[in-house]
Amino acid sequence: MSTPPPRNAIVTGASRGIGRAVALRLARDGFAVVVNYAGAADKAAQVVNEIAGQGGRAIAVQADVADAASAARLFDEAERAQGRIGVVVNSAGIMKLFPIASGPVEDFDAVFNVNVRGTFNVLQQAAKRVADGGRIITMSTSVLGMNFPSYGTYAASKAAVEVLTRILAHELRGRRISVNAVAPGPTATELLFEGKTPEQLDRLAKLAPMERLGTPEDIANVVSFLAGPDAGWINAQTLRANGGYT
């Protein structure tokens, strides 16, 4: 019998939105959780306190995953606090929307710095440090199938995330570590609401046959499945959790 991986998890971008919901869900599943945040220390502390209030174990660790040294320090602190890591969920990301023809190159760089470089840094550390039999999970987007104007840079960054995810799964051959991506559809988070009118949000909600926005908990449920024992035969895949949106 193979030894099960440790019940310790790192969740990046866990101070709000989908990352927050994932951290809370994994804690309910029995994981000790490292709640990573870039700048929102107060919100990360709230997540830790909520987990503790439900009888779980969690610590908050500041790190900018777009910086390689900072990402390495995140894993160092996680291992010091909780031991070997069993699950890594990279939920840190940003979304800036602008037309390709007129978008500022600075915004392009910002999106790729967090979404692609950040994912690369986290995957690199996870590949070295996650215990055999563990789980690595990234975040993509179902926008990849829609070709919406102004989403070009964001969608391109997430396409890169999916490629990195699939290739790492093959590079970890023989270690029983699964590497998968989750691609949410429109999900009711600050990231989605920013800069959109109620009418725009209503149109997004109606795109899926379910005729509603997803919730962070909907996505956390999918991550919980991928992080658990029943998903051991799912590897190098992108699960599109979107209510039939694409």
Question: What type of residue is 171?
Answer: E
3-state secondary structure string across 177-231 = CEEEEECCCCECCHHHHCCCCHHHHHHHHHHCCCCCCECHHHHHHHHHHHHCHHH
Residues designated catalytic: 154
Distances (CA, A) of 141 to 23, 26, 116, 177, 233: 19, 21, 13, 23, 22
CA distances (Å), 42 to each of 17, 26, 51, 99, 122, in order? 14, 20, 14, 34, 23
